[in-house]
Chain A
Amino acid sequence: MSEEPQEIASLRQALSLSPDNHLLRRMLADTLLKYGQLQAAVDEYRSCLRENPEDHDLMTALAQAYAKLERPGEALVILEQLLTLESPPKEAIQLHASLTGQSPNRPDPEASEAETDDETEELLRAVEEAFGEPDEADEEREAMPAGDQPLDPHLEVERPKINFDSVGGMEEVKKQVRLKIILPLENPDLYKAYGKVAGGGILMYGPPGCGKTLLARATAGQVHSRFMAIGIHEVLEMWIGQSERNLHALFEQARNSKPCVLFFDEVDALAASRSDMRQNAGRQLINQFLDELDGVRTSNDGVLILAATNAPWHLDPAFRRPGRFDRILFVPPPDEPARAAILNIMLRDKPTGDLDYKTLAKKTDGYSGADLKALIDQTIERQIEKAAESGQIEPIRTRDLQEVMKRIKPSTREWFATAKNYALFSNQGGHYDDILDYLKLR
């Protein structure tokens, strides 16, 4: 270790003799990084980059230094830039993956705008993200410029890069979102002329794993707004901490980041029926939520509030009043063409034999997106086993998928069994007419 300062010192000395030697500075930076002098390394890399702003290896190295300095935000900004390249450096992909906690080999979404091929990749990513790997949503998140950082750093604000084009199927729901959300935002005067006010919240409900979160994110992308997602964990923390102020801070954060889509996942956790939560002192939290939705103290202009739930019947009726979640959208499981599209996307770049997507889509009636993903995952596992035995790649064929299909029960059935009862017996105001229509009970 005695060599350490020696090595650095000699490099510094050499550099002082020829300060413009790019290679030398690079070596110094690498050495500093190697010996853990991270801040110094960052400084050197940055001055290198001033000379060669397009040097991808340098950028990667700088990102690595930031990552080691535990400044992942800055690292991610650089990495995401790198990932837009046609062939991003391997290290960059790996580092990005380790920072976001996901598997590598995903190109950056931005590239997709230019190239059709990447567009499908992106769709795949979006589907996966919505249908089973919630953590991957992080990939979308951008570190905000320091000045924009809200006071309460509770929640990251992201700028979704997906839009409706990235959502397979769901045409009817998308149409509804356009009509109920996007059009009023784009043409507020038109709505005013008819005496309608833009704004208010939209509640999406339906069986789990059918793309509600994806749709919310895509909606934000579609209207080019920021996106804040509040999940069950954030909500639980609010309950446990009995901290209505946190909820207020979240709303304030959204108001400060407008235009912003504020999305509440599993909103029944927060908007639980007050009679259900009779014994819980945290009923105040529900009242606080109502207040925030109403925008009593501060206007919610420019903030679009979206919410999703699997159990709309557990929502306090007060949340359905005008100005709150007064528009309710049923998000059904993917229909046949949508299932074919999802399977097609999920099986891209996998070794496949002849695949009959039409048959597969027909046989997966009632499958949610998450079920389809489970189907593919389990099939691939089986194929890997087979390949390990035979010593050669075993392509996935229709038959393989059909065999695995027998083991995967469509998870939406259970949901519909419950939903049917609510739709039949508890359908005041026709809240659940969509379910009745879907089940063809009307």
Chain B
Amino acid sequence: MTSSTTSSYGNSGRDAFAAARLLLQQHRFDMAEQQLRQILATNPQDVEAHWLLVSALSGQEKHAQALEVARDSIALAPDLAPGHYLAATVHHALRQWKEAERAAQQAHELDPGNPDYCGLLAVLEVRASRWKSALEWADRGMRTVADHPLCNNMRAHALQMLGRNEEAQSSLDAALQRTPEDSDTHANQGWQFLRAGDHRQATEHFKEALRIQPGHEYARAGMIESLKARNPIYRPIFAYFVFMSRLSQGAQWAMIIGLYLLFRFGREFLAANPSTQMLVAPFVMAYLLFVLTSWTGPTLFNMTLWFHPLGRHALNRDETFASAFCAASFGLGLLWLALGLATGSTMVLLWAAFFPFLSMPIAATFRVATPWKRRLGYAIILAFALPALVGAVATLMGVSWGMLPFLPLILGLALFSWVGNLLFRE
């Protein structure tokens, strides 16, 4: 698709627009862009050409340019909703949630009946785990167009998260009946089954969604989870995440802090009573294991897909890398455990216990896409891994300063387990 559009449809008029629309429809975004730029060269004030150009640029993932054009279109016609809506979609693609919400609200105020705008607002609310509000937006959109696919999907999603499974299911059933070839609906149905614990049915729906649209990210992620869920050890971990994802962000924090306080209180309680003192160590270990799993469980279990015929291809590069690095940190732990047992050195054993926790920043880093967060993550991983490796080797060789980095690293990890939660969230 490298050929240039030497427009034979003129630079304005219906044919020029028809050509641009057709090119957009056929996903020939580069040619659509050329066509639209030609139209704009003759009619720089044409708002509609601006709108279409935003889509053409977004289709090529030129988000920064798309945003600029969307802003231009708003400047040209501030009281027309599509410009605001398009700006919102670009902000959404750029993960600028607040700006996206503001622009989508603006579009909705200018044209309250448009279900696309309600749908986008529902998407944004779902992302922020505000299920009730998401449901309201989806319902509002469906009052105008009863079978609006996006609104319907967001409605089903919100209902699931609110625990209203039957309503969610009937919503999806209706959608699948109307549009059996809709990848979004299949993906949603897959997640519905997965959350309900039926990973076999879930896999089938994810397969179907991916058959229809192989690049479907939500279905791909679901496919990975559904394949991992075949593993009985992973199922409770997944259930924990489902439970947490249903909570609002505030409730999630309350949960994390509550568990931590419970741990502190429990430890004090056990330590205070001589008959239960022996339980302190297992209790602390259980808590640490829980914290570790909550950070790295999904990433680590991606390893189980390495040899699965479909699973290994469903994993993307980041996921494969992350699981390999996590596996490596656990591997180092095991190695040092063996060395510690062989040498009988408690200090070597301490390092053995430390290494698996390296997987926390690793898993967190590879989960985020925002470039600066990713870079920060790499820096954090190195800041933990390098001193740990040097210290652990030095300890093994009996060098006196070998344990020097240990305490700072432990404190650093404790800090990371809180700050990282804030930082590596998208």
Q: A residues touching B (Cβ–Cβ < 8 Å)?
A: 132, 134, 208-209, 231-233, 236-237, 239-240, 266, 268-269, 272, 275-277, 279-280, 282, 310-311, 313-314, 370, 418, 420-422, 424-426, 428, 441
User: Which residues from B are CB-within-8-Å of A425?
Assistant: 207, 210-211, 214
6 contacts between A and B (CB under 8 A): A232-B28, A233-B8, A236-B23, A237-B8, A314-B26, A428-B211
Would B2 and A232 count as touching, CB distance under 8 A? no
- Contact A209 B2, beta carbon cutoff 8 Å: yes
Q: A-B pairs with the 7 shortest C-beta distances?
A: A421-B214, A425-B210, A425-B214, A422-B214, A426-B211, A240-B18, A424-B313
B residues near A (Cβ < 8 Å) are 1-3, 5-6, 8-9, 15, 18-19, 22-23, 25-28, 31, 181, 207, 210-212, 214-215, 310, 313
Contact across chains for B22 and A280 when beta carbons are under 8 A apart? yes
Q: How far is the CA of A34 from the CA of B212 in the complex (A)?
A: 66
Name A's interface SS.
helix
Q: Which of A310, A422, A428, A441 contacts B1 (CB 8 A)?
A: A310
Min C-beta distance of B2 to chain A, whole Å: 6
- Output the residue of B27, B207, B214 with the most chain A CB within 10 A: B214
Q: Tell me whether B28 and A269 are in contact (CB under 8 A).
A: yes
Nearest residue in B to A282 (C-beta to C-beta)? B22
Which of chain A's residues have a CB closer than 8 A to the CB of B310?
Answer: 424
B25: chain A residues within 8 A (beta carbon): 272, 276-277, 279-280
- Interfacial chain B residues near A370, Cβ < 8 Å: 2
Max chain B C-beta neighbours (<10 A), residue from A269, A282, A310, A425: A425
Report whether A240 and B26 are in contact in the complex, using a CB–CB cutoff of 8 Å.
no
Q: Bound state CA distance, A310 and B30, in angstroms?
A: 14
Q: Which residues of A contact B210 (CB under 8 A)?
A: 421, 425-426
Q: Which of A209, A236, A269, A280 has the most CB of B within 10 A?
A: A236
Closest chain B CB from A412 CB (angstroms): 13
Q: How far is the CB of A320 from chain B (nearest CB, A)?
A: 16
List, in ascending order, chain A residues with CB within 8 A of B23's CB.
236
CB distance from B310 to the nearest CB of A (A): 7
Which residue of the partner chain A has the closest CB to B207? A425
Contact residues in B for A239 (Cβ distance below 8 Å): 18-19, 22
Chain B's closest residue to A278 (CB) is B25
By a CB distance below 8 angstroms, the chain B residues around A314 are: 26-27
Distance in angstroms from B19 CB to nearest chain A CB is: 6
Shortest CB-to-CB span from B385 to chain A, Å, is: 30
- Give the residue of B5, B9, B19, B215 whose beta carbon is less than 8 angstroms from that of A421: B215
A426 and B214 within 8 A (CB): yes
With A and B bound together, what is the CA distance between A266 and B28 in angstroms?
11
Distance A266 CA – B23 CA, assembled complex (angstroms) = 12
Measured CB to CB, the nearest residue on chain B to A134 is B3
Q: Do the beta carbons of B215 and A272 come within 8 Å of each other?
A: no
Q: When the two chains form their complex, are residues B2 and A272 in contact, meaning their CB atoms are under 8 A apart?
A: no
Measured between beta carbons, the chain B residues less than 8 angstroms from A266 are 1
A275's nearest neighbour on chain B, judged by CB, is B181
Known: A237-B8, A425-B211. A232 touches B3 (CB 8 A): yes
Q: Select one of A231, A279, A428, A441 contacting B3, CB under 8 A.
A: A231
Once bound together, how far apart are the Cα atoms of A421 and B223, in whole Å? 13
CB pair A236–B22 under 8 Å, yes or no, is yes
A268 to B6, CA, bound (A): 20
CA distance A231 to B8 in the complex (A): 13
Q: A208-B2, A233-B6 are in contact. List 4 more A-B contacts (CB 8 A).
A: A236-B22, A311-B27, A426-B212, A428-B211
B211 adjacent to A240 (CB under 8 Å): no
Of B3, B9, B210, the most chain A CB neighbours within 10 A belong to B3
Q: Is the CB of B181 within 8 A of A418?
A: no
With a CB–CB cut-off of 8 A, which chain A residues contact B28? 232, 269
Within the complex, the shortest CB–CB distance from B85 to chain A, in Å, comes to 18
- Residues on B with C-beta less than 8 A from A311 are 27
Which residue of B is nearest A418, CB measured? B215
Q: How close is A367's CB to chain B, nearest CB, in angstroms?
A: 15
A371 to chain B, nearest CB (A): 11
Q: A272-B26, A275-B181 are in contact. Are A240 and B214 (CB under 8 A)?
A: no
Contacts of A279 in B (CB 8 A): 25
The one of B5, B22, B212 in contact with A240, judged by C-beta atoms closer than 8 angstroms, is B22
A236/B19 in contact, CB under 8 A: yes
CB–CB B15/A240 < 8 A: yes
The interface residues of chain A lying within 8 Å CB-to-CB of B215 are 418, 421
A240 touches B313 (CB 8 A): no
A279 to B181, CA, bound (A): 16
Instruction: Give B178 Cβ to nearest chain A Cβ, in Å.
Output: 13
Closest B residue by C-beta to A236 = B19
Contacts of B181 in A (CB 8 A): 275
Q: Are B19 and A240 in contact (CB under 8 A)?
A: yes
B2–A240 CB distance below 8 A: no
Smallest Cβ-Cβ distance to B15: which chain A residue: A240
Would B26 and A441 count as touching, CB distance under 8 A?
no
A276 nearest CB neighbor, chain B only:
B25
Residue of A nearest to B35 (CB): A236
- Inside 8 A of B5's CB, which chain A residues have their CB? 233
Residues of chain A lying within 8 A (CB to CB) of residue B9: 236-237, 240
Contacts of B1 in A (CB 8 A): 208, 232, 266, 310
| Most chain B C-beta atoms within 10 Å of own C-beta, residue among A209, A233, A266, A277 | A233
Cβ A269 vs Cβ B313 within 8 A: no
- A425 to B310 Cα, complex, angstroms: 9
Chain A residues closer than 8 Å to B2, beta-carbon distance: 132, 208-209, 370
Interface centre among A239, A268, A420, by most B CB within 10 Å?
Answer: A239
A266 to B31, CA, bound (A): 13
Q: In the bound complex, do residue B313 and residue A420 qualify as a contact, i.e. CB atoms below 8 Å apart?
A: yes
Tell me, in angstroms, the Cα distance from A213 to B215 when the chains sit together: 28
* Minimum Cβ distance to chain A for residue B13 (Å): 11
Counting chain A CB atoms within 10 Å of each CB, which of B22, B23, B212 scores highest? B22
Contact B214 A232 (CB under 8 A): no
Closest Cβ neighbor of A411 among chain B residues: B2
CA distance A355 to B28 in the complex (A): 39
| A370-B3 Cα distance, complex, nearest whole Å | 12
Residues of B within 8 A of A232 (CB): 1, 3, 28, 31
A314 to chain B, nearest CB (A): 7
A441 to B210 alpha-carbon distance, docked (Å): 18
Closest to B14 in A: A240
- A269: chain B residues at CB < 8 Å are 26, 28
Q: Chain B nearest CB: distance from A147 CB in Å? A: 29
Task: Report the bound CA distance from A420 to B214 in whole Å.
Answer: 9
Min C-beta distance of B63 to chain A, whole Å: 17
In the bound complex, how far is the Cα of B18 from the Cα of A441, in angstroms? 41
In the bound assembly, the distance between CA atoms of A334 and B370 in angstroms comes to: 36
